[in-house]
Structure 1
């Protein structure tokens, strides 16, 4: 099976520094790395809504690099520190990005992430067809 890394220029450090592809085409799907809410400069805003939007914007970078859009998403898992504290904000922001038919979604509470202060990480899967 042929696999192809999807590496938008804005996310090149994921590939070169962390040795992981922001997205990887395998078969008829694109598997995306989990994205937290850092901004393009690597800074983490304190505002939960800003973090969540930043994560969705990074997803969009990968989708566009693969000539896809948010309508290509078929599944997403979101990991949350303080899930109940920002679930409604997450749902509202998510609604700005996902389109019908809506992707499957699982939300999981976790203890923390690599970057202190991160409250969310989103790992989606998109279909090529």
Structure 2
């Protein structure tokens, strides 16, 4: 089975980039690395809604490398720090950026994430089929 990495050009030259692929195209699906809501300069916004929108924007950017959109997402797992404090805000952003039919979704509360200050990490699987 072939694996094609999906790396948006904005990430190619980012200092300190981890040795990972933001996305992998394989077997008719795109598998994305979990995305947090950091800004383009690497800072983590204090505003939860900005974090959530940033995370979905990064997901859209990686999917765009395979000519896909957020509508291609078939499964989503979200990892939340302090989920009770921001879940409603996250859900409003989710409903604003995703369209029916909505992807399958599991939300998990975690004690912490790798990125300091991150409230959510979003991992998705998208289908390359229309």
TM-score (norm 2): 0.94
Deviations along 1:4-49, one digit per CA (max 9) or x if unpaired, are 00000122258x8311101001101000010001001101001111
Give the match for residue 4 of structure 1: 4
The 5-angstrom pairing of residues 3-22 of structure 1 reads 3-12=3-12, 17-22=17-22
Paired with 1:10 and 1:108, the residues of 2 have a C-alpha distance of 29
Distance 1:77-1:58 versus aligned 2 partners, 3 A rule: same
CA contact (8 A) 2:11 2:17 kept: no
Give the match for residue 67 of structure 1: 67
Paired with 2:37 and 2:70, the residues of 1 have a C-alpha distance of 17
Give the match for residue 109 of structure 2: 109
Give ranges in structure 2 of 5+ residues lacking alignment: none
Give the match for residue 58 of structure 1: 58
- Aligned with 2:75: secondary structure? strand
- Aligned with 1:52: secondary structure? helix
- Aligned with 2:97: secondary structure? coil
TM-score (norm 1): 0.95
The 5-angstrom pairing of residues 17-32 of structure 1 reads 17-32=17-32
Q: CA deviation at 1:120?
A: 0.5
What is the root-mean-square deviation of aligned Cα atoms in Å? 1.3
Paired with 2:11 and 2:17, the residues of 1 have a C-alpha distance of 10
Give ranges in structure 1 of 5+ residues lacking alignment: none
The 5-angstrom pairing of residues 35-114 of structure 1 reads 35-114=35-114
